[in-house]
């Protein structure tokens, strides 16, 4: 489309968009240099309303709905002006397929049409055209007035419309992406993959439970007997002159048998928890009691790793709703991980509890001063079988069990950390109410 109105000059801007937007793809990802400089006289309320309107754009409803919403938003901000848009929807590449969306101010009737075919509002004396940045089909946003000369250099109205053009171009890109067949196929495939994964996990859970049942007894015997033989060899050695067992090599071998069997036991236990978290009836649970119990269970692990536990219990923390033994397992897993990540000396775990009275949720922070979690792993640590501990030491199931238990309790957990600076796990659970 040929345009008679002057093309606005782009200037560098120093004014970043305001931080009120929840869909950052529309506002914040634009390099700030693309924003036209806003004259001081542009009312802040206009920009706020433009951003608020951008948050509610009907992106999933298609291009025309998005354009109409933007035109309506500008018309609401500038009630005395005519506002319009001209765009070419996807799949309609000829100028004849352009879609025009127009909005005249209250009380103004077009008296003369067709004076200038390139204008959306030929009856009005002045019209400014903002091309949509990045549009390859010449889409434009228009504002027109009988009295305002719409001089680009000084007009706050023009600056607002230029900004709206940028918002609109981004919104159109999102709307097109949402509507594209490639996207639909992609979403469909993702859904299929998730369903298959869920299905596999369910089947896997049933198999795991059976396998674990078969393995548990022989493994427990291996652990018990190898420990017995180690103790016996050490005791016999203690009675000899040098104090060393007669065959140190055999004792070392027995220790390896015991360690390996223990590792298999741990793995089978994790598998069962993953497949079938213990089902108990949810009731009021004293959270501090649960944490104390978990620390007691982990006493040996913590002591071996030289880790001390500091508790900061909030005085106002109420009982939570849950299954006590599952919640104990949550903290056992977190303590075990903290012990494994602890520095060789001076390892510490700090557990802090508090309650948010307004949301009626208890918050527990479990933080340590260990090796921390690399930034790129933060999003993966709750994924089943993700481990950085290698096959020999990690099952990668601990945190996914923790997460599924918390989700079953209508709670939540997330991790915060930087490699080398310790890890922090933040849990939330609903307060018990009858
Ligand atoms: P596993 O401990 O068997 O590897 P988890 O699911 O418990 O499985 O943990 C997954 C991964 O998360 C670990 O391998 C480790 O990389 C990381 N992780 C968990 N807790 C901590 C922690 N306290 N400090 C550092 N890394 C941790």
* 401 within ligand 1 shell (Cβ under 6 A): no
Mean pLDDT across the stretch 275-287? 72
325 within 8 A of 278, measured Cβ to Cβ? yes
pLDDT at 373 over 90: yes
Residue 97 CA to ligand 1 centre (angstroms) = 57
Q: Which of 168-177, 203-212, 248-257, 342-351 has the highest mean pLDDT?
A: 342-351
Mean pLDDT across the stretch 184-192? 68
Question: Over the chain, what is the mean pLDDT?
Answer: 79
Q: What is the pLDDT of residue 283?
A: 82
Residues of the chain with CATH 3.30.565.10: 281-434
Least confident stretch, 28-32, 152-156, 167-171, 411-415? 28-32
Mean pLDDT across the stretch 161-190? 80
pLDDT at 174 over 60: yes
Q: What is the pLDDT of residue 115?
A: 47
pTM exceeds 0.85, yes or no: no
* 388 within ligand 1 shell (Cβ under 6 A): yes
Mean pLDDT across the stretch 55-62? 82
Higher confidence at residue 238 or residue 327? 327
* 368 within ligand 1 shell (Cβ under 6 A): yes
Q: Which of 250-259, 295-304, 364-373 has the highest mean pLDDT?
A: 364-373
Residue 182 CA to ligand 1 centre (angstroms) = 37
Per-residue pLDDT tens for 284-298?
889 999 999 888 878
Report the candidate in 299, 325, 310 with the shortest Cα–Cα distance to residue 408: 325
Ligand 1 atom closest to residue 370's alpha carbon, by position in its atom list: 24
Between CA 428 and CA 434 the distance in angstroms is: 19
Class of domain 44-181: alpha beta
Residue 305 CA to ligand 1 centre (angstroms) = 15
Mean pLDDT across the stretch 363-375? 95
Residue 377 CA to ligand 1 centre (angstroms) = 10
Per-residue pLDDT tens for 95-152?
667 788 888 887 766 655 544 557 888 888 889 999 998 887 788 999 999 888 998 7
Ligand 1 atom closest to residue 395's alpha carbon, by position in its atom list: 3
Least confident stretch, 90-99, 169-178, 291-300? 90-99
Between CA 20 and CA 381 the distance in angstroms is: 31
* 387 within ligand 1 shell (Cβ under 6 A): yes
Ligand 1 atom closest to residue 372's alpha carbon, by position in its atom list: 25
Q: What is the pLDDT of residue 202?
A: 61
Strand pairing category for 320-322 and 126-131:
unpaired
Least confident stretch, 14-28, 66-80, 87-101, 290-304? 14-28
Mutate to test the pocket of ligand 1, among 337, 373, 401 (most ligand atoms within 8 A of CB): 337
Residue located nearest, by CA, to atom 25 of ligand 1: 372
Residues of the chain with CATH 3.30.450.40: 44-181
pLDDT at 74 over 80: yes
Residue 431 CA to ligand 1 centre (angstroms) = 28
Long-range contacts of 373-379 (CB under 8 A, 24+ apart): 373/415, 373/417, 373/418, 373/419, 373/423, 374/419, 375/418, 375/419, 378/415, 378/416, 378/417
Residue 388 CA to ligand 1 centre (angstroms) = 7
Least confident stretch, 72-81, 132-141, 191-200? 191-200
pLDDT at 337 over 60: yes
Q: In the structure, what pLDDT confidence band is assigned to residue 11 with cuts at 50, 70 and 90?
A: very low
* CATH number, domain 281-434, options 3.30.420.10, 3.30.565.10, 2.70.170.10, 3.10.129.10: 3.30.565.10
Q: In the structure, what pLDDT confidence band is assigned to residue 278 with cuts at 50, 70 and 90?
A: low
Q: Phi and psi of 127, rounded to 5°?
A: -145, 135
127 within 8 A of 5, measured Cβ to Cβ? yes
Between CA 387 and CA 373 the distance in angstroms is: 11
Residue 376 CA to ligand 1 centre (angstroms) = 13
Mean pLDDT across the stretch 377-404? 82
Mean pLDDT across the stretch 163-180? 85
pLDDT at 401 over 70: yes
Residue 336 CA to ligand 1 centre (angstroms) = 9
* 395 within ligand 1 shell (Cβ under 6 A): yes
pLDDT at 83 over 90: yes
Residue located nearest, by CA, to atom 20 of ligand 1: 337
Torsional sign, CA 381, 382, 387, 389: positive
Calculate what percentage of the chain has a pLDDT beyond 90.
23
Which of 350-362 are b and which e, b meaning 16 or more Cβ less than 10 Å from the residue's Cβ?
A: bbbbebeeeeebb
* 423 within ligand 1 shell (Cβ under 6 A): yes
pLDDT at 422 over 90: yes
Mutate to test the pocket of ligand 1, among 270, 385, 387, 416 (most ligand atoms within 8 A of CB): 387
């Amino acid at each position: 489309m040929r345009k008679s109105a002057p093309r606005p000059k782009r200037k560098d801007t120093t004014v970043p968009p305001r931080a009120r937007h929840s869909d950052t793809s529309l506002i914040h990802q634009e390099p700030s240099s693309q924003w036209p400089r806003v004259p001081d006289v542009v009312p802040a309320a206009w920009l706020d309303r433009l951003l608020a309107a951008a948050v509610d754009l009907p992106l999933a409803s298609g291009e025309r709905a998005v354009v109409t919403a933007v035109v309506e938003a500008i018309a609401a901000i500038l009630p005395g002006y005519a506002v319009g848009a001209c765009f070419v929807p996807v799949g309609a590449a000829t100028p004849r397929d352009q879609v025009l969306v127009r909005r005249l101010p209250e009380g103004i009737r077009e008296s003369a049409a067709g004076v200038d075919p390139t204008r959306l509002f030929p009856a009005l004396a002045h019209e400014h055209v903002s091309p949509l940045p990045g549009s390859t089909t010449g889409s434009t946003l228009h504002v027109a007035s009988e009295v305002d000369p719409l001089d680009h250099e000084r007009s706050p109205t023009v600056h607002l419309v230029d900004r709206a053009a940028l918002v609109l171009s981004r919104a159109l890109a999102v709307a097109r992406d949402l509507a594209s067949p490639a996207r639909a196929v992609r979403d469909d495939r993702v859904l299929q993959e998730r369903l298959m994964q869920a299905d596999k996990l369910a089947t896997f859970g049933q198999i795991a439970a059976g396998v674990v049942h078969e393995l548990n007894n022989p493994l427990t015997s291996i652990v018990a007997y190898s420990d017995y033989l180690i103790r016996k060899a050490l005791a016999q050695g203690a009675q000899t002159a040098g104090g060393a067992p007669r065959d140190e090599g055999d004792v070392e071998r027995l220790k390896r048998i015991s360690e390996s069997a223990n590792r298999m036991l741990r793995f089978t236990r994790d598998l069962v928890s993953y497949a079938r978290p213990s089902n108990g009836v949810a009731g009021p649970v004293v959270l501090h009691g649960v944490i104390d119990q978990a620390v007691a269970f982990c006493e040996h692990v913590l002591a071996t790793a030289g880790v001390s536990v500091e508790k900061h219990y909030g005085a106002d923390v109420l009982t939570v709703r849950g299954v006590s033994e599952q919640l104990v397992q949550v903290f056992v897993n977190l303590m075990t991980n903290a012990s494994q990540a602890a520095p060789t000396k001076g390892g510490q775990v700090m557990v802090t509890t508090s309650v948010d009275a307004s949301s009626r949720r208890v918050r527990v922070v479990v933080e340590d001063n260990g090796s921390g979690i690399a930034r790129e792993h933060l999003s993966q640590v709750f994924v089943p079988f993700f481990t950085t501990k290698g096959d020999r030491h990690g099952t990668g199931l601990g945190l996914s069990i923790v997460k599924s238990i918390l989700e079953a309790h209508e709670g939540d957990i997330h991790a915060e950390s930087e490699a080398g600076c310790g890890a922090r796990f933040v849990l939330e659970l609903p307060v018990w109410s009858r």
